[in-house]
Every structure is written in structure tokens, then in C-alpha cells.
Amino acid sequence: MSISRALSVVKPTESGDTPALVEQLSHSEVDHLAEYFQGGDVSAHTQQAAVTRIQSLIAKRMWVACGCTGALSAETPLLFPRSVPRSASRPAVLVPLYDRNPHKAGCDFERERPDLTDTPTHQSRSSITGMMSVLPAMGGPCATAPLVATAPRPHGTSEARAAKRTPKLAAVLFTILEGAGLNVLQQGRLSTTDAKSRLEVEIRKHFIAPGKSLFDWCKLSFYAAQSIIKKLDKQDQEDWGKTVPQGFIIEQVIDYHSNATSHALTNVHGEQFFFSGRLIVPGANTPGPWLAIALASKRPGVSAEFDQVYLHPMDSEREYFLVDSDLERHTLRILRRDLSKMKRASKPYTIIKPLTDLTVMDGKTAAKIRPDFILRANPELKRDALIVETMGYEDVAYTTRKLQTHRLMLLLPKTLDLVPHEKGSDEDLKKSIERYIS
């Protein structure tokens, strides 16, 4: 039985609803779009015809329904059109809505869902709402059983992007930084002293265990390492309930080295912090500086020790503003330079770097998103936000995944538009910001 190649222009529709038909595409239009969709070499005529049609759909804010499963219904597979700035060969594409209905096997518009493990930012990130402890609560098989705890982390180095989920230690860091507002830029660079003051105010709001203020167990310098160890060694487990006695250090790092027995982290003053255990790094291609959060704990029967450190890239060694990659650093520097220029012109804006996931509703389904940067104009302009997304790769799978994510990001309430920042598109980004602020 042959598969229908019919395509229809439809209005954007919520999940579970039947799309509203706008018009039927002609056979020649379907032929051009099908050949172009496959991603191989196509004639200039086919490319122009397909791109022109997709761009018209973008301008009209329409979607495309595929007829491979039959007449229009709530089960009809859908595609949405997106522009790909700076791409000469594929300036506009059709992207399947993978979270909706699948295409029939063998359909010309069927595409395998892209791999989500190609960048470190695919992992979900949730803020911590309860106790800020990292190690799991201890417990035995019954109330009278002796307390047990996980063994210290084995010595070694691992990459955060290879993990199935964001490390709990990282979630503590993200929660504290967002709470302190250190993921928001409204002026020039914040001094280290001011940033630490904000962190201390935020840390005072949290507890690490019942009756245990996080402020007493979280310090902002490697200088405090030995004092934390000494305090932990004096702790009685019964005073912590079922929580492993533990503490943290948050510190800026400009270099690190590892050998078979230890890791050495160097801070901005050239001082080194040594520990043996697990060092979690962002990846070999993400240079410093980094912000470190180190975990010390006192497990039953052993002395207290630091045995886990998480590193996350930050914009500069004197700040606490995080980025997810060196490419994001480049995007941020453009945003900051323009922010300074716009402030002088009395047209300031705010740069926000979400560190934990935001939730949007895609029809009746909740979806998690985390834009690279969100710009908010001066409130006097009464203008919705502008999202800026750093594009790190150019392969089809990555681009397809990002376009699908961008569609969800545009569902964020009070969002005006999204600007992708690709290699070589610095001037386009600057012009987009000027248009947004003007």
C-alpha cells in the first residue's frame, strides 16, 4: 500500500487537537519539499522553491501537516518551519514535532529523533527546594539498624556532559547563584567582594540539615578547607539525624591538574587546593576560568575529607557569572559590550542567564527549557523579552534539535523573539539587539 505524500498548511495547534486546514500544497511543492527535506544535493531550482515556500510559512506563522497517516486528525504528524540564519545551503527548514505524532514508516518526511547527548546542556537542571545536602540521607533496613552511608568517591576525573543527569553538587551551586542574582547582569562587572556579599546573604537563607544553617557549613575560599575538616571531625552523627555531616567551599579556579593520587586546583591568587576523589569537569574543550564547588563529608568510621569537586565555566576569573561553553563566552562578550554602549545611550537592558530549567506549556504538555541568554529591555519600553541562543554546531542532528527547542522557548510567556548566534554572525546579533532596544 502506497504512502500518501500529501502536505497541508495548517494553523499551529495544541497537542491532542485536530489541525485547522488553511490550504493544500500542490504536487510540485510537495516534491520540492520532500527532496529538500532529505538533506542531500538538490538542484538550485528545487532549493529555491523549497526555501521560498518554507519562508512564506514562517512569515505567516503556519505549520505543515503530513498526510502519511490519512486525513487530518488529532493523530496527524506535524512539522514546523524555522529559519537558519547564516546557512547558505539551508536558510530555512522544516522540523518534525518529535513530541507529537510519528510519521508512518517509509514516509518521505520521517526522520529519526536526533541524539540529545551532543552537548552538555541537554541535561535537565532543577533547583533545590529543600535541604542543601548532597550526599543521600543515611538509613538501614529497619529503625534499629546501624546507619550506613555511600563510600567516598573513587579518585578520578569525569565529564559532566557524560552524566545522565546534572550532579547534585552542581544543583546546589546553581540554586545558590540564582538566589543571589549572580546570573543577572544590569551594569558593569560586579566586584568579587560584592558578589561574595550577595552569596553570603543567600547562603544564610538555607539549611544543610535540620537545625544546621548552610552559612555555618559553606565557605567562599579554599582558606577555609582545614577549618571545615576540623569542624566535621568534631560532629556527632546523632546531631545530624540521617544526613551525612557535610560542608562546601565555593571558589574561583583558573587551573587544575590531576595525577594518580590527587587533584590540584589553583585559585585566582595562585594558591592551590589538593584533594583525592572525584573531579567533575565540563569537558576538555571548555577552557577556564571555572567556578568550583567542593564537597567535604564525614562518613561513619572515617575522618572527614574533601572527596568531590564540580567545576563549571564562568565568564571571567573575578566573577561568578556562569556560561556553559567557550562559545557562550563569546556571545556574552558581545551582549556585554552592547550593554555598555546602550547604557551610555540611556537604553539599558538586562542580561539573564538561566541556570535551572524553566517550564512552558506546549499545548497541554509541560516542557522544560533553558535559554542560553534572555534580554529584557528597560521596563519603560514595555517590551517582551528577547532570547539569544548560541549555536555551537552545524550538523543536521544538532540544528534540528535546537530548532525544536527554540520552538518551545518561544512559548515562554512575554517572549518577543529568538535570535540564534552562529559563528560569523556577530554583526547580525548586534543589529538584532539594536532593533530590540530602539
Q: For residue 270, count CB atoms less than 10 angstroms from its CB and return exposed for 0-12, middle for 13-18, buried for 19 or more.
A: exposed
- CATH for 330: 3.40.1350
pLDDT of residue 102: 87
pLDDT for the residue numbered 51: 93
State how beta strands 272-275 and 263-267 pair: antiparallel
Q: In sequence order, what are the residues at sequence separation of 6 or more whose Cβ sits closer than 8 angstroms to the Cβ of residue 376?
A: 349, 350, 352, 385
| 121 is a domain residue | no
DSSP per-residue codes, 26-64: PHHHHHHHHHHHTTS---HHHHHHHHHHHHHHHHHT-EE
**Residue 209 CA to its chain's centroid (Å):** 28
Greater model confidence, 267 or 155:
267
Domain-ending residue, one of 292, 313, 334: 313
Q: How confident is the model at residue 404 (pLDDT cuts 50, 70, 90)?
A: confident
Tell whether 300 and 199 lie within a shared domain.
yes
Residue 400 has what pLDDT? 72
* Same domain? 306 vs 335: no
Q: Which of the listed residues 54, 73, 96 is the one where a domain comes to its end?
A: 96
- The answer to whether residue 119 sits within a structural domain is no
Are 280 and 243 found together in one domain? yes
Rounded Cα distance, 162 and 147, in Å? 31
| Structure confidence at residue 254 (pLDDT) | 93
Please report whether residue 270 resides in a domain. yes
What is the predicted pLDDT for the residue at 287? 86
Confidence band, pLDDT 50/70/90 cuts, at residue 290: very high
pLDDT of residue 423: 75
Residues 269 and 200 in one domain: yes
The Cα 333–Cα 360 span in angstroms is 28
- Residue 134: predicted pLDDT: 85
* DSSP 8-state class, residue 115: P
pLDDT digits (tens, 9 = 90+) for 170-219: 999 999 999 999 999 987 778 889 999 999 999 999 999 999 999 999 99
- 157 with 236, same domain? yes
- Entry pTM: 0.74
Q: Evaluate whether residue 149 is within a structural domain.
A: yes
- Residues 189, 338, single domain; the answer is no
The pLDDT of 218-237, averaged and rounded, is 95
Check residue 217 and give its pLDDT.
96
Tens digit of each residue's pLDDT (9 = 90 or more) over 68-112: 999 999 999 999 888 776 566 678 888 888 777 888 888 988 876
Return the pLDDT at 146.
40
Residues 271 and 185 reside in one and the same domain: yes
Task: Give the whole-angstrom CA distance, residue 231 versus residue 67.
Answer: 68
- Could you tell me if residue 205 is inside a domain? yes
Q: Strand 385-390 to strand 415-421: parallel, antiparallel, or no bridges (unpaired)?
A: parallel
Residue 139's pLDDT band (boundaries 50, 70, 90)?
A: very low
**pLDDT recorded at residue 1:** 47
Residue-level pLDDT at 163:
64
pLDDT at 46 over 70: yes
Residue given cell 531550482 in the structure block: 45
Say how many C-beta atoms besides its own lie within 10 A of residue 144's C-beta: 6
Is the same domain home to 298 and 200? yes
Letter for the amino acid at 341? K
Read off the amino acid at residue 44: A
53 and 164 in a single domain? The answer is: no
For residues 150-166, average pLDDT: 70
CB of 261 closer than 8 Å to CB of 155: yes
In the listed set 290, 313, 336, which residue is the last one of a domain according to the structure? 313
Look at residue 20 and tell me if it is in a domain: yes
Confidence of residue 396 (pLDDT cuts 50, 70, 90): low
Residues 144 and 231 placed together within one structural domain of the fold: yes
Domain count within the chain: 3
State the residue range of the domain holding 31.
7-96
Q: Are residues 139 and 83 in the same domain?
A: no
Q: What is the pLDDT of residues 266-289, one digit of tens each?
A: 999 999 999 999 999 987 667 889
Residue 361 DSSP label: E
pLDDT band with cut points at 50, 70 and 90 for residue 220 = very high
Residue 101 lies in a domain: no
- Residue type at 255 in one-letter notation: D
In a domain, 113, yes or no: no
Domain co-membership, 44 together with 152: no
